Amino acid sequence: MKIENAKYHALDGDNTKPNTSITCVIDGKLTSVPISEGNADCIEIMRQVAAGTLTIEDAD
């Protein structure tokens, strides 16, 4: 799975609040991934982050 341009979204667009999703491009498609331990895309994003092959930009 090719994941690019990952960036956190904070609740209500307010970066003083918790991050709730990650916006990224997965296999060429713009995708919004919830931060959920059970979501397969989120699991893969975190696996790639742990492997050092993906970084996630902070929320605006």
From residue 1, how far is each of 18, 23, 25, 40, 42 by CA, in Å?
A: 26, 15, 10, 11, 12
**Least distance from another protein to the Cβ atom of residue 10, Å:** 9
38/52 with CB nearer another protein: 38
**Least distance from another protein to the Cβ atom of residue 52, Å:** 19
Give residues with Cβ within 8 angstroms of 18, minimum separation 6: 10, 11
Interacting residues toward another protein by CB under 8 A: 1-2, 9, 11-13, 20-21, 23, 26-27, 29-34, 36, 38-42
13/52 with CB nearer another protein: 13
In the beta sheet, which residues pair with residue 34? Answer: 21
